[in-house]
Every structure is written in C-alpha cells, then in structure tokens.
Amino acid sequence: MMQLINNVRLAQSVVRQHLTDDPVILFLQLSRRLPSAVLPLAKRLCQLAPKNSTSAAVLFAALAAGDDADVERRLRIAADGSVEGDKARRLADVALAANLPAVSDAFLAKAGTARHAKQARARRLWYDGDVSEAVAALDGSGPAGQRQRARLAAEAAILADASLSLERRPYAPVPGRILHLLTNSLPHTASGYAQRSHSTLLAQRAAGWDVLAVTRIGYPVQVGKLLAKTTDTVDGIRYQRLLPAKMAQTIDARLQQQADELLAVALDFKPSVLHTTTHYVNGLVVRAVAEALGIPWVYEVRGQLADTWASTRGSGARSSEKYRLFQNRETEVMQAADLVLTLGTAMKANIVAAGIPASKVLIAPNAVGGNFLAEPLDKASARRELGLAEDAQFIGTVSSLVPYEGIEDLLAAFVRLAGDLPRLRLLIVGDGSSMPSLQIQAQRSGYADRIIFTGRVPRSRTALYHQALDVFVVPRKDLEVTRSVTPLKPVEAMACARPVVASDLPALAEIVEDRVTGLLAEAGDPDSFAGAVRELLTDPSLAARFGAAGRERVLQDRTWAANAVALARELEMLGVTI
C-alpha cells in the first residue's frame, strides 16, 4: 500500500510539472496512453463540430484523433482571424504540438503580454533548439514561469557540462556479475529498445553471467503505471525500479538522485562491470557510479538521438545550439566509457568520425533468439493461428508507428497495388504516435476493409505475424538518423524466411542485400515500393529464394548469443572476469 501511495505522489508531481512546462503535450501523452477511451470520442467531436470551429476542445480532439490536416486547417482559420491575447497564446502551443512552428509564430505575434506568453515563447525557442534564448525568455516571468525557467536552466546545464559527484567507495566486485541501467523495459514498455535489452540480458544469462537491470528513476510510474512494483521478473530476468517517495524537480538534481540510488544497488549486487545505453544522461549516471566503484563500464549506442530530434524539426535543426551540445555530450560520454557498443557499420563510422578510436567500438548488431531460431511456420499455418485469410496475399510490417518509419508510404504503395490484386491485404502490426493519422489515411484510401491494424501484440506472437506475410516492408524515410541506425524488425523477418523490401539507405543495406535477401526501393517513393513488392508477389520462387537466403544469413551472423560471446571477449581484455 505504501508503494502505491508513493507512486500516486510521484505521478502527481509529474503531471504538475507537465502542466507548467507544456500542458498541450501532457494532453497528447495522456490521450495516447488511453486510446480506447479518447480516440472514439475525439473522432466523434471532430465530426460534429462546425468546419470553421477553432475552439480549444475541437483542436484538442483533432490532435488526439491524429487528423493533422484538420488541425492545420482549423489553426490557419484562427490565424487569419482576430484572435489575440491569451487565446492566441493557447493556440500557439497547440500549433507547436502539431509541429507547425510558423503557425505558432503567427499566434505568438498576436499574444502580446498575455498571461503565460513568456512561457509559450520559451517553448517555441526550445522547440528550435535555442537553449540559452529559451531560458532567457523566462526572465521576469511569474512564479510558474520561474519554475519552468529553473527546469530549462538545469537541462541546459546538463546539455553543456554539468557533472555528477559520488565519493569513491571501498569495493570488491563479484566476477561474472553485470549491472545494466536502462531507460525503459518489459513488461511496461514493448518497444524495440525494451526487446533488445531483454534479449541481451537473456543471452548474457545463458552465457553464465549473473545479470540485473535497473531502470531510470521514476519509471514506469512516469509513463502512467501507477500499480508498478519495485521489482519485475520477466523470463527469469529481474528488473529493479527506482521509485522514491519524492523525486527531484530539475533534471540535474534528478540525475544526481538516480546516481545515488544506482550506487546503492551496485554496492548490494557487486557487479564487475556496468552497462548502459544511449542517450548521454544514462552515461553520466553510470560513469559516476563506475568511478565511485573503480570498475569498467560499457556505453551502448543504439541510436543517434540528436538526429532523431532533428528529424522532427526543420532543416536548421542540425545547426542549432541544442544539436551541437547534444552531439558534444554524446561524444564526451563515449570517450569516457571503457567500451562502446553499436548496431552496425554506418553507426560505427559516425562514432569513429566523432573521434572515438575504432579499436574501442564493438559492433553488436540487432539479432534474434528464442522462437525466431525455430524453423518458421508456413504462411497458411501462421495465418490460421492468427485468424487471417489463408488464401489472401499479405504484405506489411511490424514496427513502431512513428513518423520516420514512413508507414504512410507503405499505405500509398498498397493502394497502387490493391486495384489489380484483389486478394492483397495490408497488415500493420504495432502502435505509436502515427497510428491515428495512418488510420485516417487508410479510411480515406478506398480500401479500408483490406487494411488491418493490430495495435501492439504480445511478444510471444510477433514471429507469427512475420510468418503470415508474403513480403515484409521497411519504408523508412531518408533522414540522417535512418541512414545510420539499423532496426530490429527486418532482422526478425529474415529469420522467419520472409523476403524484405526496404528503403535504399546505408543502415538498411547492411541488413538487406539487394536481390539476394530482398529488394531495395527508393525511400519516400511509393511507386518504387509498389514495383518491388509486385515483383515478389508475382514471382513466388524468387520470394522464397530471398527468404531462405535471409534466414541463413541471420542465423550465421546475427544471434544474441553471438553478441554475448563477442562482448565477453572484449570485457576479458579489459580485465573483467566473466
């Protein structure tokens, strides 16, 4: 009962902070965590509202429904009108949440000295990565603005050069123990990040290590899991939570609190090595703990998160203050780590270009294990298990539904094929922020009855969805982050002996060899994807050959067990006894 009370208090503090920092984003996050309750109501309100309505309720509903075109249309109607003052300030926040910065600027110009206008201007500057200016914009603001200023100033300090401090402790590590610090994990988050972490932990345990995972302070209560316990065990892997009764309000104090708590866990568990993942805040915490204990630590670069952030902004984002500071901080953390892991050759090249010695960087590719190693079912059997039509043709993907994945291009390619392929169906497995807008696109396509959105599915059934497909499609957009970061799901599709059609990007070309294990298509071009998919659908023998070659390659080069062995070799060279 006491833990539940602590969790409720923690959740209340998170909500209060978001209400000050960005209430519109708080609303969007809540709506996405309660889709079954919010989405139908939001869609209904948009249908009933007058076409020219710009009320806050209607705009919030359109945001929650994911109807980006309707949000933009209504905001432009309001911007062309006589709105001013506090309403203009509120609409500026809505426009920013809808990734319409120019429209937000138009409203801010009309907001004048409205209440909370300085806070809205600070959010707008922070959106562009103008870190110092965002902090300065809150000078002279009221109490709520000063609280926001303190939080932004702390984040700016962490981005720049703030460090954590722990006293050196007498310490005797136990050989063969490894402690991981993770951003999130199963069973509360089912992302590719959480799946990779779990697979890594399972493989290390199978290799004889004693493993323990600790998640960031406040998780998973911060993502709405009020009934969270201090420990979860999944497949025999223990995930320990850091859920204090009270969490510090600013990021610098929060990270220091996290470092203190992680140190206490480490002193009890006695690992011989620490392991964490991007982004740099995890590295700052683990570096401090490793230095206090005098043991080595590993930094695993799973993504280039500065580029992920920049991909949602305009072309100037990569020259912004935030981008520069973010990249510098990542480089500093990689330099401090004893060993850097990453996912592929493109990412390793970027890391080496940042000044990290190539000899210090180990590639640990996205891989497979468990039921993906078993002989895959034929398509008909997998479809029977899932209740899908056995005599249809299925193309699709298993993915997080976020903008850079380009799922809208897969939908557009399907529409180009559906007219003359009456048995063709599109299967989209997964969830994410793009789900509402993709569902709207499907409804307007004319083929909604042939497009299936499953939402998130249990991990134990993921392989079945791969095996049910004729062709697995990876339509990622051409962005800096997607050119470098290799995803997990196409590897799993290849393990299931399914041919893959993927965007012709360096990171994907590392996985899919064109005309050997699948086909590469031009990123962002639905016609190119439609042509590649058609070729495989009309030549089953070619598709089968690509699928078999893909499975053979994955089993040879990409297993979690092989990654664990490679890491053990590197750690032994660092003096770690496994």
Window from 6-20, 96-110, 163-177 with minimum mean pLDDT: 6-20
Would you place residue 20 in the very low, low, confident or very high pLDDT band (cuts 50, 70, 90)? low
The reply to whether domains 177-363 and 376-558 share a CATH topology is yes
Sign of the four-CA dihedral 43, 47, 52, 53:
negative
Strand residue runs (E) in 79-205: 177-182
What's the CA gap between 210 and 560, in Å, rounded?
A: 16
What's the CA gap between 139 and 122, in Å, rounded?
A: 10
Domain ranges of the chain: 2-115, 177-363, 376-558
Q: What is the pLDDT of residues 266-291, one digit of tens each?
A: 999 999 999 999 999 999 999 999 99
Write down the pTM of the prediction: 0.94
pLDDT, average across residues 221-234: 92
The CATH code for residues 376-558 is 3.40.50.2000
Residue 394's identity, in one-letter code, is F
Residue 193's alpha-carbon distances to 4, 70, 164, 236, 301, in angstroms, are 27, 33, 26, 19, 11
Q: What is the pLDDT of residues 172-198, one digit of tens each?
A: 999 999 999 999 999 999 888 999 999
What's the CA gap between 539 and 471, in Å, rounded?
A: 12
* Homologous superfamily, domain 177-363: Glycogen Phosphorylase B; (3.40.50.2000)
